């Protein structure tokens, strides 16, 4: 079963998402997108399949977003994609691709909507938030 995660190991959300995938018993293809960014066509397709716009798929925090003036509303999708491919840190993370769909998994629990197999056991995120109970069921929050 092919699952891909565009991963940044320095990102807690990305690490939690990877751990949730692994909690199904699947070892995904891990793409270190900072070193190996997706092609322009793949990036555009992932953004579209995730139901996002190019602008909403850009990461601002900890990136050269402000210096590059990417908040300029006159910039086209192509210009934004150019910036993302030239500076992969601008690609928001983690994108996950499964046979069920594509998601930008922020928060990490969004990956649960597109995983083809159930969780095998409990899961607690790095910050201590319990997400999956001992029976492999999602814990409902009051949010």
- Which of 11, 70, 105, 114 is flagged as catalytic? 11
- The answer to whether 116 touches 1, Cβ cutoff 8 Å, is yes
Active site residue 11: yes
Retrieve residue 139's tokens.
């814990």
In the block, residue with structure tokens 């197999």: 117
Length of the chain equals 143
Residue 24's Cα: distance from chain center in Å?
Answer: 17
Give the Cα separation of 58 and 76 in Å (integer): 13
Give the Cα separation of 135 and 143 in Å (integer): 22
β-strand partners of 128: none
Residues that are catalytic: 11
């Amino acid at each position: 079963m092919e699952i891909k995660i565009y991963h940044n190991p320095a990102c807690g959300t990305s690490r939690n998402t990877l751990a949730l995938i692994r909690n199904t018993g699947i070892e995904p293809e891990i793409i270190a997108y900072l070193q190996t960014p997706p092609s322009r066509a793949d990036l555009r397709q992932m953004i579209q399949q995730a139901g996002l716009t190019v602008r909403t798929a850009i990461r601002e925090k900890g990136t050269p977003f402000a210096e590059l003036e990417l908040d300029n509303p006159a910039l086209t999708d192509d210009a934004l994609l150019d910036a993302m491919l030239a500076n992969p840190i601008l690609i928001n993370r983690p994108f996950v691709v499964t046979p069920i769909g594509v998601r930008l998994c922020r928060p990490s629990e969004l990956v649960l909507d597109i995983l083809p197999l159930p969780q095998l056991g409990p899961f607690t995120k790095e910050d201590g938030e319990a997400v999956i109970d001992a029976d492999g069921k999602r814990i409902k929050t009051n949010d």
